Amino acid sequence: TNATGHTQTVFGTGNPNASLMFIGEAPGAEEDLQGIPFVGAAGQKLTQIIEAIGMTREDVYIANILKSRPHENRTPLPNEVADCGPFVKKQIDIIKPDVIVTLGTPATKYILATDQGITRLRGTWGTYENIPVLPTYHPAYLLRNYTTEIRGQVWNDMQLVRAQLNQ
Ligand code: URA
């Protein structure tokens, strides 16, 4: 353990030739232990979301804005996003996905360089370096707010993603 309290860096996982890339916020406790993004409860929900559009985790690439777990899972600080963010941009450059899905507010704000939050932006396409970007709710938010409306919104967002990938 180092001064920031995390066990290891959590870089990314999945297919380096992925057409679809998911970008989350930061590793949580389980991700910090395993060194793999989205393996805890939110990760299991993300796996279901991926499978709902007929894909697997092995088909896609999954990364976070931050590569190490913030203390007590607090929201990333602006300087942490500024320091770590260039790594995810490099990951995008290398993988060159056809579609990016940003999960929740920090990823959406950083990739789309906007001040608007996820409630305003979810379900509406943006672009990063000519790549279509669709913001949707973070799966941890979905777990906390498991309503018909919010589940339906994520479902609709993923149908947009599937249609874009099939173009
Ligand atoms: N939440 C995230 O944003 N990323 C993870 O890897 C796990 C939970």
- Residue pLDDT, tens place only, 26-64: 999 999 999 999 999 999 999 999 999 999 999 999 999
CB 103 within 8 A of CB 137: yes
Residue 124: name the closest of 156, 149, 91 by CA: 156
* CA of residue 72 to ligand 1 center, whole Å: 13
- Annotate 30-62 with DSSP letters as a single string: HHHHHTSSS-SHHHHHHHHHHHHTT--TTTSEE
CB of 31 within 6 A of ligand 1: the answer is yes
Q: Tokens 């919104």 belong to which residue? A: 153
143 Cα to the center of ligand 1, angstroms: 13
- For position 5, what pLDDT does the model report? 83
What pLDDT does 158 receive? 98
Nearest to 106 by CA among 154, 141, 157: 141
* Amino acid present at 110: Y
- Low-confidence stretches of the chain (pLDDT < 50) are 1
Exposure letters 38-76 (e unless 16+ CB within 10 A, then b): bbbebbebbbebbeebebebebbbbbbbbbbbbeeeeeb
Whether ligand 1 lies within 6 angstroms of the CB of 137 is answered as no
- Predicted local confidence at residue 95, as pLDDT: 98
- What global pTM score does this model have? 0.96
Sign of CA dihedral 69, 75, 79, 84: positive
